[in-house]
Structure 1
Amino acid sequence: MPDEVPGRTGKVTDPRALRAYAHPLRMRLIGLLRSEGPMTATQAAARLDDNVPNCSFHLRQLAKYGFAERVAGADGRERPWRATTPFTSWDDDSDDPAMKAAADELNALMLAVFVRRAQDYLAVRADEPTEWRVAAGFGDTLLHVTASELRELTGTIDALLARYDERITDPAKRPPGSRPVMMVQLVLPRGVVPPDDRRAGSDRD
């Protein structure tokens, strides 16, 4: 993955932690904590239409690997959970077979989540206000770039998106008329690497 904006993400370097993260309910739980703030297992279960013991177990597993943690509650009786970082990242340049396999497993799960959310949006898109139908949607662009140029480009995009981070945790920062929007980033090289580049590693930093 590209270089992150400092302080914005928690980087996972342990394949065991990455495999623990690659679970549909755990990813939904972390997404919920990040978008709505700290909450108890009971509250999370109600939001996700799941049962409390199941959510409690998976929140503990997320805490075990550093993705979530307990915080003080308002009434001092039940301590809610919160996400430890706004985002999660991992390296895709590891030569460790276990890390490669764990990253592929997580990437496959994420792709399935993205496709499902896109399908959910299409199912209701006709009922969206015109201004939102115009602003949202799908598209793609073909580029001819080197690997280092691509990293620079995605880093620039990440820095631009980071300008809106404070609105995630502070509702007061959200302007009137704003709503949650999921921006999916898929960077998909096409074709094969030229033989000369494979031998020489000509585009390595």
Structure 2
Amino acid sequence: MPQPAVGDIRDPRMLRAMAHPLRLRILDAVAFCGSATATEVAEQVGESPANCSWHLRQLARYGFVEEAGGGTGRQRPWRIVLDRHRWGPGGAESTRVGQAAHQVLLDVEYQALREWLGNRHEESPQWRGAGFLTQAVGWCTPAQLAEIGAAINEVLARRLPDPIDPEARPLDSRPVRFIAWGVPARPSEPATADDG
């Protein structure tokens, strides 16, 4: 199975355009549908079609979505261009915008996790049993940490079908969110008598 394309974001304006809570929900809606009009997106995200149309045009301006062909105006379908993006340290503005983007993305993912935990009792036994949350702490060198991150990305790329092509999705499948991080921990400072 080919690995999904990854877009490198170098322009802080592009990152700023994507790092907006509503735009992230819009991107999810379009990705989940395969293609969707502003009206269809609006129904999924609880916003007006006009507002969604404006945000879709902004996302298109920076290459996150494109017209899928057919339709006009608000009945024009849009599709995701790339499902995966990455960015890293850059200049001062890129670093500041990147930190804000990470915060927005984590807020969206935390909300999705909280919703799952709060509503999983409503899911079928199969989905309740399949969902997971895992946590670990280990000692790693920078090279080992990089190797673990690459292995996680490789597993996801190998196991997951093309997220953009609805025809590649297995029967009875549904969108599943994955998030993982490996960040160096700061050891706790030992307590002193003054802390008491």
TM exceeds 0.5?
A: yes
Structure 1: gaps (5+ residues): 193-205
SS in 1 for 2:163: helix
Q: Which residue of 1 aligns with 2:192?
A: none
Whether 1:111 aligns to 2:106 is: yes
Q: Which residue of 2 aligns with 1:66?
A: 63
SS in 2 for 1:10: strand
In 2, Cα distance between equivalents of 1:130 and 1:6: 31
TM-superposed CA distance for 1:13, in Å, is 0.6
SS in 1 for 2:174: coil
Whether 1:138 aligns to 2:133 is: yes
Of 6-15 and 173-182, the range deviating more from structure 2: 173-182
Q: Residues 97-176 of structure 1: matches in 2 within 5 Å?
A: 97-176=92-171
TM-superposed CA distance for 1:167, in Å, is 4.9
SS in 2 for 1:169: coil
TM-superposed CA distance for 1:83, in Å, is 1.4
1:82 paired residue among 67, 73, 79: 79
Distance 1:168 1:25, change over 3 A: same
Structure 1 residues 73-116: Cα deviation after superposition (integer angstroms, max 9, x where no partner):
1x57743211111212112x32x111110110011111111111
Q: Which residue of 2 aligns with 1:191?
A: 186
Q: Which residue of 2 aligns with 1:18?
A: 15
Distance 1:12 1:179, change over 3 A: same
CA contact (8 A) 2:34 2:166 kept: no
In 2, Cα distance between equivalents of 1:134 and 1:166: 21
Distance 1:139 1:6, change over 3 A: closer
TM-score for the superposition, normalised by structure 2? 0.84
TM-superposed CA distance for 1:30, in Å, is 1.2
Query: In percent, how many aligned pairs have the same letter?
Result: 33
1:41 paired residue among 38, 53, 74: 38
Distance 1:163 1:45, change over 3 A: same
Q: State the one-letter code of the partner of 1:90.
A: W
Q: Which residue of 1 aligns with 2:5?
A: 8
In 1, Cα distance between equivalents of 2:39 and 2:110: 28
Q: State the one-letter code of the partner of 1:31.
A: D
Aligned pairs, how many?
185
In 1, Cα distance between equivalents of 2:97 and 2:81: 21
Q: Which residue of 2 aligns with 1:56?
A: 53
In 1, Cα distance between equivalents of 2:77 and 2:122: 36
SS in 2 for 1:82: strand
Q: State the one-letter code of the partner of 1:123.
A: G
Structure 2: gaps (5+ residues): 188-196
1:179 paired residue among 174, 178, 185: 174
